[in-house]
């Protein structure tokens, strides 16, 4: 991530540590961040950072004159894997693309086809798409 905000003299990346005394998990009802400095670990001081793990993060921007602004955000890791079953168009009969049950998932899903030219299809909860023309699966 490269959070380019003009006028900064320092950008500090921090990761929330709920195992520290007095920290604990975020309030599940409000999902408001814990602001106590003792609950945060400094990761790096840099204008850019590659986030590799899920967690609760904050960026502290320091501006000329010492003024600071803090931004909180969550990073999630998508562990969902899917299988796709393709029924090709044969002798004029319709083909189909079916998304088989997502693996490692407990959520509900919506699906969307994206055409080769970038045109987006309609979102649907139906995992079966009827195919009228040949497609390339990537």
pLDDT of residue 44: 96
The span from the CA of 117 to the CA of 74, in Å, is: 32
User: Number of C-alpha atoms within 13 angstroms, CB side, residue 73?
Assistant: 11
The string of pLDDT tens digits covering residues 86-131 is: 887 777 777 888 888 676 566 677 888 887 788 888 888 888 888 7
Whether 136 shows a pLDDT value over 90: the answer reads no
Per-residue confidence (pLDDT) for residue 132, from 0 to 100: 64
pLDDT reported for residue 113: 80
DSSP 18: T
Task: End-to-end CA distance of the chain: give it in Å, rounded.
Answer: 26
Position 1 scores a pLDDT of: 56
Instruction: Give the start-to-end residue ranges of the domains of the chain.
Output: 8-75, 81-131
Question: Burial letters for 88-110: b for 16+ Cβ neighbours within 10 Å, e otherwise?
Answer: eeeeeeebebeeeebeeeeeeee
DSSP state of 47: S
What is the rounded radius of gyration, in angstroms, for the C-alpha atoms of the chain?
A: 23
pTM strictly above 0.75: no
Percent of the chain with pLDDT over 90: 28
Tokens representing residue 111 in the block = 């699906």
Band of pLDDT at residue 61, cut at 50, 70 and 90 = very high
pLDDT tens digit sequence for 1-44: 556 677 889 999 999 999 998 888 877 677 788 899 999 999 99
């Amino acid at each position: 991530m490269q959070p380019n905000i003009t006028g900064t003299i320092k950008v500090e990346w921090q990761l929330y540590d709920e195992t520290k005394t007095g920290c604990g998990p975020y309030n599940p009802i409000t999902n408001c961040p814990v602001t106590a400095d003792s609950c945060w670990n400094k990761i790096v001081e840099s204008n850019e950072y590659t986030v590799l793990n899920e967690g609760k993060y904050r960026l502290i921007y320091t501006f000329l004159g010492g003024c600071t602004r803090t931004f909180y955000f969550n990073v999630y890791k998508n562990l969902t894997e899917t299988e796709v079953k393709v029924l090709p168009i044969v002798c004029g009969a319709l083909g189909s693309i079916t998304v088989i049950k997502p693996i490692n998932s407990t959520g509900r899903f919506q699906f969307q086809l994206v055409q080769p030219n970038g045109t987006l299809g309609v979102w649907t909860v139906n995992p079966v798409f009827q195919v009228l023309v040949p497609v390339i699966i990537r």
